[in-house]
Amino acid sequence: MPFDFRGKKVLVTGAGKGIGRGVAIALNKAGSKVYALSRTKSTLDSLVDECPDIIPIVADLCGWEDTREKLEKIEVLDGLVNNAGIGGHDYDAVDCPKEYIKHILDNNLLSAINCSQVVAKKMIEAKVKGAIVNCSSTGSLAAFPKGLPYNVSKAGMDMVTKQFALELGPYEIRVNSVNAALVSTPLVQSLIERGTLSENTFSSRMPMGRILTLEEIVDPILYLLSEHSAMVTGQMHVVDGGCMSNITVKV
């Protein structure tokens, strides 16, 4: 879908691989100045090889203070995509260790709060009418085997979206989430390889009969960042091929 982000400045977290990388490239093509934050330098290097205008930031979002320091140095932004996230599907709920749960919440949930605080404060001070998009999941809406920490992190993210939308609305800063079902990315490939999930489990529940392509989640993220969604805020935008509307196992 053609979007025009000329003159805009957007930070994408977890931009080294998967959805974040797709969003960073699409924003770059649409004319935005893009700050791409990720943990592993080599993936950002290859992103910059592909799109030399993109500005890389190597950071581990689990480091609260280090992340704040790095983000404080960036200019005022128009948009933020809180995309960085990891899977957390190693334990049944009754066996899941405290440190494991804390790590997933730190990585997937607290990181988004931290980035939103720094970026939104600067937007408020500069009177910028910005937009924040959080990458949640259908896992925030329904349980999945061994999904306790991941799904709780995403359910928490949905409330982060609503809470920030409420408090930032008066400054005309919008906050929404995309809640995708399964998208083919390195994260999903690793879960499939480990036998944690199968593509067929999801696609057979989807009225659309297949999992999402990268573009099919990137476009909704750009829509929510763009002025095309000027009065949309505090929303969980479910992008799931109809999966969550269906109670049958096989469509």
Binding site for ligand NAP (CB under 6 A): 14, 16-20, 38-40, 43, 60-62, 83-86, 107, 111, 135, 137, 180, 182-183, 185-188
Closer to ligand NAP by CB, 169 or 186: give it. Answer: 186
Closer to ligand NAP by CB, 97 or 186: give it. Answer: 186
Contacts of 46-53 with CB under 8 Å at 24 or more apart are 47/15, 47/16, 47/21, 50/25, 51/24, 51/25, 53/28
Please name every residue paired with 177 in a beta bridge, in sequence order, or none if there are none.
Answer: 134, 236
**From start to end of 54-172, where are the E strands?**
55-58, 79-82, 131-137
CB of 126 to ligand NAP, least distance (A): 25
Q: Is 110 exposed, middle or buried (0-12, 13-18, 19+ CB in 10 A)?
A: middle
CA nearest to 60, candidates 70, 46, 74: 70
Closer to ligand NAP by CB, 128 or 136: give it. Answer: 136
Residues 6+ apart with CB under 8 A from 74: 11, 35, 57
CB of 127 to ligand NAP, least distance (A): 29
91 classed as catalytic? no
Task: Point out the catalytic residue in the list 17, 33, 150, 223.
Answer: 150
* Degrees to nearest 5, angle at CA 178 with 177 and 180: 145
Closer to ligand NAP by CB, 19 or 26: give it. Answer: 19
Closer to ligand NAP by CB, 11 or 188: give it. Answer: 188
Cβ neighbours around 204 below 10 Å, total: 16
CB of 221 to ligand NAP, least distance (A): 10
Contact (CB, 8 A) for 159 and 175:
no
Task: Point out the catalytic residue in the list 8, 17, 154, 223.
Answer: 154
CB of 62 to ligand NAP, least distance (A): 5
CB of 196 to ligand NAP, least distance (A): 12
122 classed as catalytic? no
Contact (CB, 8 A) for 18 and 45:
no
- Residue type (1 letter), 163: Q
Residues known to be catalytic: 150, 154
